[in-house]
Structure 1
């Protein structure tokens, strides 16, 4: 993609390239940059020092800078901005960039580069950043001409937030940042070559509505695309679900798009989704997918995924449609516009609804709900991890504060998704597609920067939190009151669970020996350290954590051998769930038509 944008006006004055970059960022509405300095980007840091419009947050690792920008972007709907140096600065950011790409998070990452005349000479701290990040980004640029600098920055923001959002890299040679460059204002017209389709085809909308109205066992399935489309999309989703009377389920990335407390919500779908959500997906006859990409953690075995349904797929990314699952009604468009069109068409379309059959479908779903697949028993002194998350949810609600949850990756992530109810969009930050350990702490940091008065909690595991534990120093420097809630079972829990269930309980390298004392570690990072070792201590520790005005690490010592259920083993179908040890294993008694065999 070239940097050619129409309707731009260049200023007659010339200024150093670093100042041009900052002016372009300011004009794009940037208020915060997450970064780490180095030689190749010192001109930008010098320019930052001489202005007050843009705040810089000094992280302790470049991967954390991208995760912090992701948290900022996901909680605000804005583009997150990262600034790192050349070579290792850029390569350290790659994990975060792939994470943002997989989860469709708009991020612009400015990377330093050696001077243009040294590119390709293996100069000090040189790396082929554009080559390395090509598969890790939505798009990337190497700026070799000063005249292209400002318009490249503007185009990068347009690409990052338009269509299916994603990360964009701008590689900036040091000489380009030093030499004078003209400033070009942001364009006022559409990009001439990249124009994502946002408005759905009315004929496809009508086809979808008629199919849904005639269905006997419908289900609405939504993902992160609804969150990315803004709060209005979530409001329209609720309106459409209530208008149709149909059940609704969310992917891991879509949690919060539909209120968890709504009676039409079936819970999360997929590998660790609820019994009722997975069996409804397996047994439905018409499925409406809005803003989800049919990834393997949702579909399970593809040839057994929703085997007797007609599928409607609405997505802003045309390449996602028919990529993994063949659909009968493809709809290309922005989730907000698709939902608005569906509502309008539903009201106008005269096709009668199959009310009797859909009532019978709800009766069947209610029978599945009676399974109470997320039920647990907290007894004795050992803390159940499910109980810890549920009490955290209940006690945060009592505070009345706007609460944002991030997670690391593993069992604790799934328990957070299952037991912490989300009523609003943009309150749930987790690494879905890439499954990046170390995501949660810097993501919470970015959220806290964006929402200084909010309650920001990272639900973590003792293994994942150590991946980016150095960001506790960033919390201390900027006085960010992030709370880290560790479910400490001394194992890489999800690895241990798979080893138990699929590898004959051979726990190869999944036990974390020589863990730090997290209370002392918190103290070393100028934070509050707390610990609960028994169930009767749990509530007091949570309350103290929530009341403390600064950052906290709460070490919650939970049952070491607890597994996360329900679980669809990799490569299995939705009606082949493994249930908890106290529940009857009867998921297989559900036929492909969604009927329960007696």
Structure 2
């Protein structure tokens, strides 16, 4: 095998190129400066977006990952630069966003001495990363970064942090090329699907009189939108979504009955407690969806499809737990279920939707007063974009109004902070979302509080 001399910094950038990275979000500092110096020679292949704060960088990486379906890459320096990533890591962890964050670190011989801008970022970020690792020898860089990208994007996606000491960035070594990782011992991203559970789920669905499908971001992360659509259309079942599941199914689809949860629609929330079979696809029964667990869907048989086995039976006990990638499990269910017309059951949802519109939504979207409402703003945006825009929201009432009323024709169109509820997410995430979907209109909807938390990223927009 032919080898060549590279520095650790060059090896980092070679890894990014080999993994298909085209855009990096970051903020330089002393401990990561060797990588930034090397980046100059790679500027034809790697675009670097200079943010104004590391939190802005990681939220931009999240927005990029959410619209592109690729791993978001973020650079930050040691100490405060690295700790400024923590909120974004926690956000990405709970919302299953694939990120590889590369932080600089002090020279290896200074570790543990409280050197300038030294923090133990590995132990700090352990609870909020899917995996993290500290490199002090450049020869580790190719295979560790290959593992990092693989873990970030495979199975249930999530954030990975790799901390690289400054000496490893400077160090020259014999580079033997880069091999993309597709296996890690003891890690099973795609479980073996058990036929008996598929058969049990099929039987429950076929026997159901009033089934309801509730779906989350797992459909989008699994790139299973087509499989999901075929599944619900054959079964005739109504389908309701969580906030992060929004846009997996077009909002005007006749079986799309609206949003679940605390800020959701009347029909799906009421009828969750009247359905006889509840099929959960790629969602985790968050408390904002279920409310009181002791009173949640007690009359229903629960079928739970998820790629992460720790989610099955965590909050709601499943009568049938189907562990697997929904892109693979949904077609198996579709083959087994019967074609059914459930118009009568869908009409019950339509009745609740009409009642909700007359008593609540109509006045919100078409106010009789001169003052413009948030819902009216979103209605106007819908009329202009015709459901083709990417909507990025911050956190607060505007977020819920946007998710309730925005119209979407295609997937990966809703970018928001779901599980962590991170104010300040919206503006930098919109920057990343645009770089992840250059051909699409991106609209950021942000409240007066959230905009002040990452206001500085307007500078990034103006200089990019």
Shorter-chain-normalised TM-score: which range? over 0.9
> Counterpart of 1:383?
372
> Counterpart of 2:408?
422
The CA distance in 1 between the partners of 2:98 and 2:20, in whole Å, is 14
> Counterpart of 1:280?
271
The answer to whether the Cα contact below 8 Å between 2:304 and 2:318 also exists between their aligned partners in 1 is yes
> Counterpart of 1:371?
355
Deviations along 1:73-115, one digit per CA (max 9) or x if unpaired, are 1101100000000000000011111111010000000011111
Counterpart among 35, 43, 57 of residue 65 in structure 1: 57
Deviations along 1:40-59, one digit per CA (max 9) or x if unpaired, are 00000000011221110000
Distance 1:371 1:393, change over 3 A: same
Gaps of 5+ in 1: 1-9, 479-598
> Counterpart of 1:98?
90
| Paired residue secondary structure (1:253) | helix
In the TM superposition, residue 189 of structure 1 has moved relative to its aligned partner by 5.1
Deviations along 1:534-566, one digit per CA (max 9) or x if unpaired, are xxxxxxxxxxxxxxxxxxxxxxxxxxxxxxxxx
Counterpart among 136, 147, 151 of residue 155 in structure 1: 147
The CA distance in 1 between the partners of 2:352 and 2:134, in whole Å, is 55
1:238 aligns to 2:229 (yes or no)? yes
> Counterpart of 2:207?
214
The CA distance in 2 between the partners of 1:188 and 1:25, in whole Å, is 13
> Counterpart of 2:74?
82
Q: Is the helix fraction higher in 1 or 2?
A: 2
The answer to whether the Cα contact below 8 Å between 1:15 and 1:181 also exists between their aligned partners in 2 is yes
The CA distance in 2 between the partners of 1:286 and 1:200, in whole Å, is 21
The answer to whether the Cα contact below 8 Å between 1:20 and 1:181 also exists between their aligned partners in 2 is no
RCO greater where, 1 or 2, for CA within 8 Å and sep 6 or more? 2
The CA distance in 2 between the partners of 1:99 and 1:265, in whole Å, is 27
Whose radius of gyration is greater, 1 or 2?
1
TM-score, with length taken from structure 2? 0.95
> Counterpart of 1:570?
none
> Counterpart of 1:458?
444
The CA distance in 1 between the partners of 2:188 and 2:38, in whole Å, is 34
The answer to whether the Cα contact below 8 Å between 1:71 and 1:443 also exists between their aligned partners in 2 is yes
> Counterpart of 2:389?
403
TM-score, with length taken from structure 1? 0.74
1:190 aligns to 2:183 (yes or no)? yes
The answer to whether the Cα contact below 8 Å between 1:314 and 1:333 also exists between their aligned partners in 2 is yes
Deviations along 1:478-514, one digit per CA (max 9) or x if unpaired, are 1xxxxxxxxxxxxxxxxxxxxxxxxxxxxxxxxxxxx
In the TM superposition, residue 182 of structure 1 has moved relative to its aligned partner by 3.7
Distance 1:182 1:211, change over 3 A: farther
The CA distance in 1 between the partners of 2:173 and 2:273, in whole Å, is 59
In the TM superposition, residue 452 of structure 1 has moved relative to its aligned partner by 2.6
Distance 1:142 1:320, change over 3 A: same
The answer to whether the Cα contact below 8 Å between 2:105 and 2:164 also exists between their aligned partners in 1 is yes
In the TM superposition, residue 246 of structure 1 has moved relative to its aligned partner by 0.5
The CA distance in 2 between the partners of 1:241 and 1:198, in whole Å, is 24
RMSD between superposed Cα atoms in Å: 1.6
Counterpart among 310, 322, 334 of residue 301 in structure 2: 310
In the TM superposition, residue 391 of structure 1 has moved relative to its aligned partner by 1.0
Large movers: runs of 4+ above 6 Å: none
Q: How does 1:481-496 map to 2 (within 5 A)?
A: none
> Counterpart of 1:488?
none
